[in-house]
Amino acid sequence: MYSTGEYPLAQIRKIINSLGLVGKKGKMLSVSNYQYMLKNKIYYGMIEYNGELYDGKHEPIITKKLFDSVQEVMVNKSKPKSPKLKPYIFRGFFRCGECGCFITTETQKGHNYLRCTKRKNPCSQRYAREDAITSQIKEEIKKVSLSSAWANASINYFENEKIKLAQAESSFAQKARDELVEIETKLDRLLDLQLDGNLSQTEYTAKKYKLILAKKDLEEKIHAFGRKSNNRFELAIAFLKDANQAEKYAQQENPDFKNAFKIAEKYHAEALCAEAVSYDFTKSENWRRGWDSNPRSV
């Protein structure tokens, strides 16, 4: 809950205390108790004692990634916040075609209107009703709906790519496991140096702290390799299925205009000049742009 950034500590306390959580003396926990818990590394498998970090033998109940997200939220919550903006559907979505300034939205007499902010130069553009803009965009979305043949050929391509990447990641995962063994060796050597008197307690603690955290990160990366690559392809396949039905989405009462349909126009253009069943996807700049087959990017 806290990692979403939507719940302040006081609200966390109220919600969890209502479930009956109490401290050792049977009293309700305070805000500071919850802050302490959110900073406690024991929940992702580490034990900190006298300033030194130990790899716990207990089973973690959260990941280090979630713990790090919580710490980031806690830091950000201590910074001054700007007023929350009203969630207009086209906020930050358009620029004026005449002067290049952002288009803003405001509500007048129960209707939303879009207008140019006119912050740079004089501009002749007037207000436009949000529902009128919505109707125009719906018509454009219909134009980029992918055919079933094109979508199916694209999905087959990604399925093959998924197999290739899985093979590459298997090799990369082995490399990560080798690095894990190397860290374990360094920890053993570090302890030997400290026991032999060649390393002060302060130096030992600082170096061990870094190695322990690096070890935990590697363990979680190894565990997440396959899941992450599959998720990446599943998202691409889901997009293709959605783009195949773009016209249906355009008819919805509140369509999501900030999704990937704007990319579909590029695919649509390629589909018009090539047979999907024989098209070489590897030559498509649209498919490959931003794509890195190197599993290190996972």
For residues 257 and 131, is the Cβ–Cβ distance under 8 A? no
Residue 181 and residue 122 share a domain: no
Q: Which helix (H) or strand (E) holds 223?
A: helix 201-244
pLDDT at 244: 74
Q: How far is CA 261 from CA 138, 140, 175, in A?
A: 11, 10, 38
Q: Domain total for the chain? A: 3
Tens-digit pLDDT profile for the chain (298 aa)? 999 888 899 999 999 999 888 888 888 899 999 999 999 999 999 988 887 888 888 889 999 989 999 999 998 887 666 666 677 778 778 889 889 898 999 998 889 999 998 888 789 999 899 989 888 887 777 777 777 777 888 888 888 888 887 777 777 778 888 888 999 899 888 888 888 888 888 888 888 988 988 888 888 887 776 555 556 677 778 777 777 776 566 666 555 555 544 445 555 544 444 444 444 544 555 544 444 444 443 3
143 within some domain: no
Residue 110 and residue 92 share a domain: yes
Residue 55 and residue 182 share a domain: no
For residues 199 and 132, is the Cβ–Cβ distance under 8 A? no
CATH of the domain at 48: 3.90.1750.20
DSSP 102: B
pLDDT at 276: 43
Residue 290 and residue 169 share a domain: yes
pLDDT at 256: 56
226-255 pLDDT, tens digit each: 555 556 677 778 777 777 776 566 666 555
232 within some domain: yes
Say whether 107 sits in a helix, a strand or coil.
strand
142 within some domain: no
* Domain with 105 in it: 86-134
Residue 289 and residue 158 share a domain: yes
pLDDT at 250: 61
140 within some domain: no
Residue 198 and residue 125 share a domain: no
DSSP 62-98: S-HHHHHHHHHHHHHHTS--PPPPP--TTTTT-B-TT
pLDDT at 274: 42
Structure tokens belonging to residue 45: 């498998």
Q: How far is CA 245 from CA 17, 73, 144, 240, in A?
A: 46, 37, 10, 9
Q: Report residue 47: phi and psi, to 5°.
A: -125, 125
Point out the domain boundary residue: 31, 53, 77. Answer: 77
Q: pTM of the full predicted structure? A: 0.41
Residue 211 and residue 270 share a domain: yes
pLDDT at 295: 42
Residue 152 and residue 69 share a domain: no
Q: Report residue 108: phi and psi, to 5°.
A: -135, 125
